């Protein structure tokens, strides 16, 4: 059977492009092969598997993978954005968590404008309750499960009620992407709450098979009280080989739009942003692509939408 390519719409080039998938053979074996799915259940989804891989990426010897990775995945043109030269990273994980020059990611202006919180491939849903499907038509997860309230009686699901009928952005970061995440809007950020879970892949190859992986994975939830958009939830989702979600922002302090919130260690990962009902209007091009379950590539700081 022919392997279905993963395509996305590039907002900058205005073209549909095919993703070059990191470790594609291993990923397809794990999620599309019955034998691979046994190893997924027995080993891959578990914390130790990702911890061990991340540990290896912290070895000094892992630095030798940096330059081949840059060449293989066409990052040569992006080197001018890096805050450090590729030859200065002591480990692969240092490269993976790299900072960028401040001017590399301009923030869309306007107090009533929200921006993407991360580089990546994005899906937007103006009403999460009415969405026809996320990565494939008819395939959705429950909001209460995403927010860690699925086990609670309905009367105690406070966050689920707050964001019912609200808007959602799923931002998927590939291993080739800049792996720091930022605030989509200015406001006062509370304490990040950890929800323990597994570490499944968040790549469409996995999510098209079982979208619930997103709500079964380890994740951290932060509420941000904003003037323009009401309460906003920023949710960082761990994944295979991403056991570490590191928060770097000052809790219970005011944060600026586009300010760094934290970073992921090695692997693909995901950031989900929730807005209350009726508080944001996403840009039309993003909605059009998402209605067809096609992700849009955009960078952190690019315009996402405006206050409704």
Q: Which of 129, 268, 147, 155 is nearest to 215 (CA)?
A: 147
Residue 52 annotated among the catalytic residues of the structure: no
Q: Are 243 and 152 in contact (CB under 8 A)?
A: no
Catalytic residue among 50, 201, 269, 290: 269
Q: Are 252 and 188 in contact (CB under 8 A)?
A: yes
Residue 111 annotated among the catalytic residues of the structure: no
Catalytic residue among 50, 62, 119, 179: 119
Q: Are 185 and 261 in contact (CB under 8 A)?
A: no
Alpha helices in the chain (DSSP H): 24-32, 34-39, 47-56, 66-72, 92-96, 143-146, 158-163, 204-207, 213-216, 284-291
Q: Are 306 and 281 in contact (CB under 8 A)?
A: yes
| Strand duo 245-247 + 260-264: pairing | antiparallel
Catalytic residue among 122, 179, 182, 203: 182
Residue 182 annotated among the catalytic residues of the structure: yes
Which residue numbers are catalytic?
A: 119, 182, 269
């Amino acid at each position: 059977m022919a392997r279905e390519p993963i395509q996305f719409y590039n907002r900058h080039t205005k073209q549909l492009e095919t993703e070059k998938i990191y470790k594609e053979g291993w990923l397809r074996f794990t999620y599309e092969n019955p034998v691979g799915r046994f190893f997924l259940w027995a080993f891959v989804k578990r914390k130790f598997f990702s911890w061990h891989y991340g540990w290896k990426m912290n070895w000094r010897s892992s630095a030798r993978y940096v330059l081949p990775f840059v060449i293989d995945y066409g990052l040569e043109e992006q080197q001018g954005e890096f805050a450090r030269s590729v030859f200065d990273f002591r480990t692969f994980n240092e490269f993976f968590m790299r900072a960028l020059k401040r001017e590399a990611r301009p923030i869309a202006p306007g107090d009533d404008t929200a921006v993407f919180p991360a580089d990546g491939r994005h899906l937007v849903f103006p009403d999460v309750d009415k969405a026809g499907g996320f990565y494939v038509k008819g395939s959705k997860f429950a909001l209460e499960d995403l927010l860690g309230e699925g086990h609670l009686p309905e009367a105690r699901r406070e966050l689920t009620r707050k964001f019912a009928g609200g808007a959602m952005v799923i931002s998927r970061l590939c291993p080739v992407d800049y792996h720091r995440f930022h605030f989509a809007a200015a406001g006062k950020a509370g304490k990040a709450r950890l929800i323990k879970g597994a570490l499944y892949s968040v790549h469409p190859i996995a999510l098209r098979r079982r979208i619930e992986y997103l709500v079964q994975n380890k994740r951290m939830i932060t509420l941000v009280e904003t003037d323009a958009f009401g309460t906003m939830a920023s949710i960082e989702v761990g994944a295979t080989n991403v056991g570490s979600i590191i928060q770097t922002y000052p809790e219970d302090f005011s944060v600026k739009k586009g300010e760094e919130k934290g970073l992921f260690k090695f692997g693909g990962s995901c950031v989900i942003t929730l807005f209350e009902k009726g508080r944001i209007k996403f840009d039309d091009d993003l909605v059009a692509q998402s209605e067809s379950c096609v992700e849009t590539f955009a960078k952190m700081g690019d315009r996402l939408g405006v206050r409704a």
